Chains A and B, each alone.
Chain A
């Protein structure tokens, strides 16, 4: 314990600001794209899921979903931390970033209706299945700092999958609840189809061995998993090629109106208090 002496918890009291590293070179841009897609998805998904905290149907289900959201924020932090090693600051990654710069899928930014627990279940199922595939595709990445972190994130994903599938099974057994799940599939599936849309640096990501699997293959595998699973619970999944796709695709930085509202809300305090640096709460003892 160092009593009340200045410590490391609040950023302004920490050591002098880190020297800014030079902006990333092309390989870095590819790495940056990869990391921002991962991080933005996790952050925005968690920000929405956390809205259920206190509002969930029961005390136990409240904790379980909130803990999943906390995991996803934690995963976002893994990737934003790596971006900070590339020279970005937390402000640039999150707080002072242009909302039109975010590359998350529109699936994760959509607002929940008050009764939208079915939306949360379907959304986490579609998302977590994709996340798992995406993390598994990074296990043998050539990008060494990524490899160790991928394992930690993956270790938390089993629970997310079991949670989503368990809820799907139970709600699907009930006619009223299944109708709500169906409505969620109808709303969300068109957005989920963009989860694997490529970004500008996709060729470089693969040429550098950051990720070996192609997004097309991953998308096919995702469809081969989620379509039969949802159909197995009596849900109708549209033919992907026949789906009318939303105008906003997320990956190309276009977003729905829900995103602008959300981004304005979660950045408001940061803009107002204007601290020197965002507080970091890291410790060796835990």
Chain B
């Protein structure tokens, strides 16, 4: 049986997928994952999840975020509004700009823009 492994580096971090282990049950999966995925990298916590319990949907199946223009839901579109008055608004806009850039590049590489 295959178990997907998620590792958290430090308290407060997100658990990120780092790989998997073959193991006959949850306890053995935890034992194996400690060595396979946490023996060298900084680790605060590990999750193991049976692979068959993971549902997947990918770009073959779904047009994530849609394909029509949704510029209205991005802060940068309101570029005639000054966001520098509040740090948190400015930070959010910077994060959104970066997220939109990645998404744009993905669509361009798929020839969908």
| Secondary structure dominating the interface of B | loop
From A71-79, A99-107, A167-175, the one touching the partner chain is A71-79
Q: Give complex CA distance A5, B80 in Å.
A: 6
Q: Can you list, as one digit per residue, whether each of A262-286 has a CB less than 8 Å from chain B (1) or not (0)?
A: 0000000000000000000111111
B67 with A285: CB separation less than 8 A: no
> Does A4 count as interface, using CB distance less than 8 angstroms?
yes
B71 with A7: CB separation less than 8 A: no
Given A71-B68, A78-B68, A156-B67, verify A282-B77 contact (CB < 8 Å): yes
We find that the number of chain B residues with CB closer than 8 angstroms to chain A is: 23
B77 with A156: CB separation less than 8 A: no
Residues of chain A with a CB closer than 8 A to B67's CB? 151-153, 155-156
> Does B62 count as interface, using CB distance less than 8 angstroms?
yes
> Does A10 count as interface, using CB distance less than 8 angstroms?
yes
B63 with A159: CB separation less than 8 A: yes
Q: Give complex CA distance A9, B71 in Å.
A: 11
A281 with B72: CB separation less than 8 A: yes
Given A75-B68, A155-B63, A156-B63, verify A286-B82 contact (CB < 8 Å): no
Q: Can you list, as one digit per residue, whether each of A4-17 has a CB less than 8 Å from chain B (1) or not (0)?
A: 11111110010000
Chain A interface category by residue count: 20 to 34
> Does A2 count as interface, using CB distance less than 8 angstroms?
yes
B81 with A9: CB separation less than 8 A: yes
Q: Can you list, as one digit per residue, whether each of A109-152 has a CB less than 8 Å from chain B (1) or not (0)?
A: 00000000000000000000000000000000000000000011
Extra 16 A-B pairs, beta carbons < 8 Å, given A9-B77, A281-B71: A1-B79, A4-B82, A7-B80, A9-B79, A10-B80, A70-B70, A74-B70, A77-B68, A155-B67, A159-B62, A282-B72, A283-B77, A286-B69, A286-B71, A286-B74, A286-B104
User: Interface on B for A, CB 8 Å cutoff?
Assistant: 62-63, 66-74, 76-82, 97, 100-101, 104, 112
